[in-house]
């Protein structure tokens, strides 16, 4: 991450950023700081950069030309890629900096920060170069330098490699609009104050529950305004072989540190009615089979009921295409009281090929998933005040059911230990408990039974399908989101 700071007082920025964690990051090259003295671009021999305001009034105003020249010296560095640099003017008139904006800015390769002074900067140059107006709070400083340092510090924490513990940037105060739980270290007793016993027992589930309880309690006491913005996140997924689940968990991890997961691969959970309030968020994730939602006896997600609840749908596919799946999911969930505010189609390993989707989601995919998570947070913030908007997605919400050509399956009874794993784990109850035979009218060809068979008694031959897919769909597709 590169920070370019346009300022009249470079030493203020240099001294602050080259200290502590950001200082170490700058030495390592994880972040870089380029301070540009606006005074060096003065248009008069006395190096003045300000003048009296038109219309009268107290104070002085920074002239447009020196600011523009300073900005141009940085902007010219970006001419090769033809992209105008994102230029942030630190001003009390801007959008108040919050965690979502910090995460969004952290995804940029470089930022230009413009620091005003005196009574401000000529409006014309602001209109010319500024892309974002940002405030660090509802108060006025003598200049934008301290605000720029705050922004640099906050953004730097989300740059990989800046913090020694990568989780530190994700899991602490203000995440989920909750304050962080209390921390303790040695000694166990200090001034007759005892470390809470639950932290000494080593039961991680109880510790996690205690921390969540304390986080809610502290937020309720100190920042009840934040609690009003807190939105519990539930991810409901159908994932017979684990690929969809992995993609859904990565995306969810960028949204919240306290998710609830519903594994709808389990038949019992698909029969249980689950309701969601308007203050929650649902992530619904399913794999793509033949360009459509998997057909199950209990239709996927039909047991979920919303009350104007925002949701995001995810269709995970093995590099061919997701076709109508997003549209099907959107329609089904919106008919059940949800509002689909976003949709995404990540690529995952194809069950019939070791080539298609290999290693996906990869690092580039994670960047896109994180970008979409930030966009989702922005839509949630906007929806809280303006109402949620249903997103448009491609595909036919009511496609004709496809007749999938069954893949030949094999079963070696001599290897079978009758552990019943394939029976229990089959997501559509297609395997007989007595004979272990597969019912063709129910089978999804998901190959979950093959994956869970430790004795390797089950297998399948998909050579023809694999050859066709690898011939026509080997070029890696990018994640799409809406």
Cα(181)–Cα(309) distance, integer angstroms? 28
User: Residues of 16-42 as b/e, b for ≥16 C-beta within 10 angstroms?
Assistant: bbeeeebeebbeeebbebbbbbbeebb
Say if residue 136 carries a ligand binding annotation: yes
Is residue 121 within 8 A of residue 61, CB to CB? The reply is: yes
The C-alpha atoms of residue 442 and residue 176 are separated, in whole angstroms, by 41
In the numeric block, which tokens belong to residue 356?
A: 């298609």
* Contact criterion met (CB below 8 Å) for 67 and 117: no
Is 139 labeled as ligand-binding? Answer: yes
155 is in an annotated binding site: no
Tell me if 140 is assigned to a ligand binding site. yes
Q: Across the strands, what pairs with 292? A: 289
Residue 99: HSE in the Cβ half-sphere, 13 Å Cα cutoff: 18
Give all strands of the β-sheet with 309-316 in edge-to-edge order: 260-263, 233-237, 281-287, 309-316, 338-345, 480-481
Pairing mode of beta strands 309-316, 281-287? parallel
Taking alpha carbons only, the member of 365, 241, 323, 343 closest to residue 282 is 343
With b for 16 or more beta-carbon neighbours within 10 A and e for fewer, the 423-432 pattern comes to bebbbbebbe
What is the phi-psi region of residue 306: left when phi exceeds 0, alpha when psi lies from -120 to 50, beta otherwise?
beta
137 assigned to a ligand binding site: yes
Q: Give the residue numbers of the binding site.
A: 116, 136-141
Q: Give the residue numbers of the binding site for S-adenosyl-L-methionine.
A: 116, 136-141
């Amino acid at each position: 991450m590169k920070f370019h700071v346009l300022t009249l007082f470079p030493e203020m920025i240099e001294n602050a950023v080259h200290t502590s964690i950001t200082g170490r990051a700058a030495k390592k090259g994880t972040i870089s700081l380029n301070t540009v003295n606006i005074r060096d671009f003065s248009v008069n021999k006395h190096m003045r950069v300000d003048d009296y305001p038109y219309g009268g009034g107290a104070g002085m105003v920074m002239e447009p030309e020196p600011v523009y020249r300073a900005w141009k010296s940085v902007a010219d560095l970006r001419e090769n890629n033809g992209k105008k640099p994102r230029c942030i003017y630190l001003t009390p008139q801007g959008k108040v900096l919050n965690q979502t904006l910090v995460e969004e800015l952290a995804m940029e390769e470089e930022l230009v920060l413009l620091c005003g002074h005196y009574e401000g900067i000529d409006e014309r140059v602001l209109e010319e170069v500024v892309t974002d107006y940002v405030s660090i709070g509802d108060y006025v400083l003598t200049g934008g330098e301290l605000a720029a340092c705050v922004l640099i510090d906050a953004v730097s924490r989300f740059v990989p490699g800046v913090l020694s513990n990568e989780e530190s940037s994700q899991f602490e105060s203000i995440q989920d609009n909750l304050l962080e739980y209390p921390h303790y270290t040695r000694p166990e007793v200090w001034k007759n104050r005892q470390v809470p016993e639950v932290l000494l027992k080593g039961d991680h589930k109880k510790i996690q529950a205690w921390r969540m309880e304390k986080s809610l309690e502290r937020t309720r006491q100190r920042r009840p305004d934040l609690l009003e913005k807190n939105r519990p996140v539930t991810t409901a997924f159908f994932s017979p072989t684990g690929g969809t689940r992995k993609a859904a968990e990565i995306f969810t991890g960028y949204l919240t540190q306290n998710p609830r997961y519903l594994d709808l691969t389990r038949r019992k959970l698909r029969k249980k009615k689950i309701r969601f309030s308007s203050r929650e968020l649902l992530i619904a994730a399913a794999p793509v089979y033949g360009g459509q939602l998997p057909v199950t006896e209990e239709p996927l997600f039909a047991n979920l009921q919303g009350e104007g609840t925002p949701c995001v749908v995810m269709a995970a596919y093995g590099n061919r295409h997701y076709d109508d799946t997003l549209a099907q999911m959107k329609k089904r969930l919106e008919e059940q009281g949800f509002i689909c505010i976003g949709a995404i189609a990540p690529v995952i390993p194809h069950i019939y090929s070791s080539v298609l989707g290999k290693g996906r989601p990869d690092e580039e995919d994670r960047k896109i998933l994180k970008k979409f998570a930030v966009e989702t947070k922005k839509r949630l913030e906007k929806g809280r005040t303006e109402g949620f908007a249903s997103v448009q997605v491609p595909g036919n919400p009511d496609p004709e059911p496809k007749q999938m050509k069954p893949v030949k399956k094999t079963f070696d009874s001599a290897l079978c230990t009758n552990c019943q794993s394939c029976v229990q784990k089959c997501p559509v109850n297609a395997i007989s408990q007595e004979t272990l035979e597969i019912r063709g009218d129910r089978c999804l060809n998901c190959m979950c039974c093959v994956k869970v068979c430790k004795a390797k008694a089950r297998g399948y031959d998909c050579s023809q399908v694999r050859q066709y897919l690898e011939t026509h769909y080997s070029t890696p597709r990018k994640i799409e989101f809406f």
